[in-house]
Amino acid sequence: MRCICATSWPVVGEMMGSEVPWRSLQPASVLINLLPDLGRTARQLWWLLPAMVVGGGFQRIVDFGFLLFFLAMSFFRTITHYMTLRYRVSGGRLELVEGLFFRQHRLIDPARIQNMEVVRNIFHRMAGLAELRIDTAGEGGAEGLLSAISIAEANQLRAELANHQPGPTAQEEEEELRTGFLELLAYGFSSARSGAAVVAVSVGYELLFQFSPQMAGDAAARIGSMGMVGLLLVAVAGSTLVSALTSIRSFWGLRLLKTARGLVTEAGLFTRSRVEVPQGKVQLVRIDEPLVRRIFGYGTIQVETAGSSAPIEGEARGELMLPMVPKAALAWVASLALPALDIDPWKATLRPAAPRALLRALLGAGLRWALICLPIAIAFRDPTPFFFWPIGPISAFFDWRRQGWYLTESVIVSRRGFFRRQTSIISLEKLQALRLEQGPLMQLNRLGRVVVRVAGGEVALPDLHLDEASQVFEKLQEKTTQRTNQTAPNIAITSESTPTTTA
């Protein structure tokens, strides 16, 4: 009897005439991939544990069987992945075949690779293995995922694919930036979501009140108003501590390296990852400068390609992220990712938003904060929440004051926000689409908003006067047309004409 899950089924690659042998995962990958999969399954089914404790008899048996079924599925996925996945580099392209019931044969052109990431968690390090993730444009995650292979195999495969990519092949690495322990602590403290901690305490009290109003009332009476404030401060401190520890876990030992091909980052305490982004694949550079981080003189740089979603603060995702960059080096580091950057966005005088945009911002913020304060005031029969209403319009005013944009021959820069300032830089060579938007209030005030889209995301310029917005839109459209004409293939036109018919 012939085994379906052995190396006998990559017949598609054999039909293509390639004699390059297929490679497989290491046997230890079964255990290394199984443990994280079981962990994810346990986190998704955590609600079954209290249900099994509370429930009894037949219900407990059903819940236990339900849990065993999903754990068995984790075993099945891991073993199938190991037994069926085969890969090779043939004809300059990466080929992967996998699947038991639903088989796939994928070809990945190195020219389409947006970034490559070598990840090594604790289990990988113990076994001397690594995981190689390959992101291509248009994919929600890693199109090529090889876990687990030997570290030598991962480096060899990464170098082999890089050599088939367009551009220089030299791989000398030069360290450009290193993030220290105190900087990571500061990043974690400035990333703390204190509002989430306050909401968690409020939700916990509300659940206690719904479960037992008398118990909730007794607890509130014993704690008192000062005790409640102290509880909120403890929750905020706990959230800050968790954020700091998460920052250290994700970005420990972070280094930014520059090669002839592009940029590389290495970071991670327990899971060490190496992310490589070719310079020509960079679509968008975002610089976040929250108020607290800005006071310390730092900003966070995110480099986005067309491969995967943008990183989330505090987490290392598939693309390049630098959590703490000194303000004096922001423009320099941004230019490493986007060599087309021909101005310093922190020294140049950006063009402001339209004066009429302030009225729209004040009206919008005032309405939003009124909708927040009104239900709370009605529920507690207390007008105190309306004392916080001015926060909305005041924040909107400072946000409008700090908005700016700048257009050069090579890049477009957009800046928004006061408390959470963000500067976005797009190379005009990567521009994919344009939009000119107008909402109802914008139409009344003759305002327009230009939205610039690239493969890695989109950036909205500040609200401008309609005439100015139209001029910017037409100028960008002209640049896009020129670039398209320059890159379009030459078409030979013969002297033969197509016959026409006359009515």
Q: Coil, strand, or helix at residue 287?
A: strand
CA 311-237-208 angle, 5° bins: 100
Lowest mean pLDDT across 163-172, 251-260, 343-352 = 163-172
- Show the domains of the chain with their CATH numbers: 11-163 (no CATH), 185-251 (no CATH), 356-483 (2.30.29)
> Closest Cα to residue 352, out of 472, 464, 470?
464
Greater model confidence, 172 or 149: 149
Lowest mean pLDDT across 53-57, 286-290, 479-483 = 53-57
Residue 312, φ and ψ in degrees, nearest 5? -105, 140
CA-to-CA distance for 369 and 238, rounded, in angstroms? 28
Burial 337-346 (b: 16+ CB within 10 A, else e): bbebbebebb
pLDDT more than 70, % of the chain = 76
> Closest Cα to residue 330, out of 361, 295, 301, 293?
301
Determine the pLDDT at residue 501. Answer: 33
Determine the pLDDT at residue 11. Answer: 47
Determine the pLDDT at residue 316. Answer: 40
CA 316-318-319 angle, 5° bins: 90
Dihedral of alpha carbons 269, 273, 277, 282, sign: negative
Encode pLDDT of 182-194 as tens digits.
999 999 888 866 5
Determine the pLDDT at residue 228. Answer: 60
Give the total residue count for the chain. Answer: 503
Check whether 363 has a pLDDT greater than 70.
yes
CA-to-CA distance for 152 and 138, rounded, in angstroms? 29
Structure tokens of 256?
A: 């930014």
Check whether 297 has a pLDDT greater than 60.
yes
Check whether 172 has a pLDDT greater than 50.
yes
DSSP string, 6-68: STT--HHHHHTT--PPPEE--TTHHHHHHHHHHHHHHHHTTTHHHHHHH--THHHHHHHHHHH
User: How sure is the predictor about 181, in pLDDT bands with cuts at 50, 70 and 90?
Assistant: very high
Residues 6+ apart with CB under 8 A from 203: none
> Closest Cα to residue 99, out of 26, 191, 4, 166?
4
Residue 116, φ and ψ in degrees, nearest 5? -125, 140
CA distances from 502 to 349, 495, 498, 499 (A): 60, 21, 13, 10
The mean per-residue pLDDT over the stretch 386-413 comes to 92
Determine the pLDDT at residue 143. Answer: 72
CA-to-CA distance for 356 and 252, rounded, in angstroms? 46
> Closest Cα to residue 478, out of 420, 424, 407?
407
Q: Do residues 259 and 239 touch, judged by C-beta distance below 8 A?
A: no
User: How sure is the predictor about 207, in pLDDT bands with cuts at 50, 70 and 90?
Assistant: low
Determine the pLDDT at residue 106. Answer: 86
Q: Where are the beta strands (DSSP E) in 48-92?
A: 86-90
Check whether 135 has a pLDDT greater than 90.
no
Q: How many alpha carbons lie under 13 Å from residue 39 in its C-beta half-sphere? A: 6
CA-to-CA distance for 452 and 435, rounded, in angstroms? 7
The mean per-residue pLDDT over the stretch 396-401 comes to 94
Q: Coil, strand, or helix at residue 193?
A: coil
User: How sure is the predictor about 65, in pLDDT bands with cuts at 50, 70 and 90?
Assistant: confident
Lowest mean pLDDT across 324-338, 340-354, 469-483 = 469-483
Check whether 6 has a pLDDT greater than 50.
no
Q: Do residues 28 and 148 touch, judged by C-beta distance below 8 A?
A: yes
Determine the pLDDT at residue 380. Answer: 67
> Closest Cα to residue 244, out of 226, 263, 269, 266?
269
The mean per-residue pLDDT over the stretch 297-317 comes to 67
Determine the pLDDT at residue 69. Answer: 84
Q: What is the mean pLDDT of the chain?
A: 80
Determine the pLDDT at residue 240. Answer: 79
Greater model confidence, 427 or 456: 427
> Closest Cα to residue 334, out of 407, 252, 428, 411?
411
pLDDT more than 90, % of the chain = 30
Q: Coil, strand, or helix at residue 404?
A: strand
Check whether 399 has a pLDDT greater than 70.
yes
Q: Coil, strand, or helix at residue 10?
A: coil
> Closest Cα to residue 464, out of 455, 473, 477?
473
CA-to-CA distance for 155 and 175, rounded, in angstroms? 19
Determine the pLDDT at residue 51. Answer: 61
Q: Do residues 308 and 341 touch, judged by C-beta distance below 8 A?
A: no
Determine the pLDDT at residue 29. Answer: 86
Q: Tell me the β-bridge partners of 450.
A: 436
User: How sure is the predictor about 315, in pLDDT bands with cuts at 50, 70 and 90?
Assistant: very low
Check whether 450 has a pLDDT greater than 60.
yes
User: How sure is the predictor about 142, in pLDDT bands with cuts at 50, 70 and 90?
Assistant: low
The mean per-residue pLDDT over the stretch 316-329 comes to 81
Greater model confidence, 4 or 431: 431
pTM of the model: 0.77
Q: What is the DSSP code (8-state) at residue 371?
A: H
Q: Are strands 284-290 and 93-98 parallel, antiparallel or unpaired?
A: unpaired
Check whether 379 has a pLDDT greater than 90.
no
Structure tokens of 323?
A: 């959590």
Greater model confidence, 251 or 123: 251
Check whether 498 has a pLDDT greater than 50.
no
> Closest Cα to residue 182, out of 132, 244, 129, 99?
244
Determine the pLDDT at residue 221. Answer: 59
Determine the pLDDT at residue 195. Answer: 54
User: How sure is the predictor about 499, in pLDDT bands with cuts at 50, 70 and 90?
Assistant: very low
Determine the pLDDT at residue 4. Answer: 37
Determine the pLDDT at residue 387. Answer: 86
Greater model confidence, 126 or 300: 300
Greater model confidence, 226 or 129: 129
Check whether 436 has a pLDDT greater than 50.
yes
Residue 20, φ and ψ in degrees, nearest 5? -70, 125
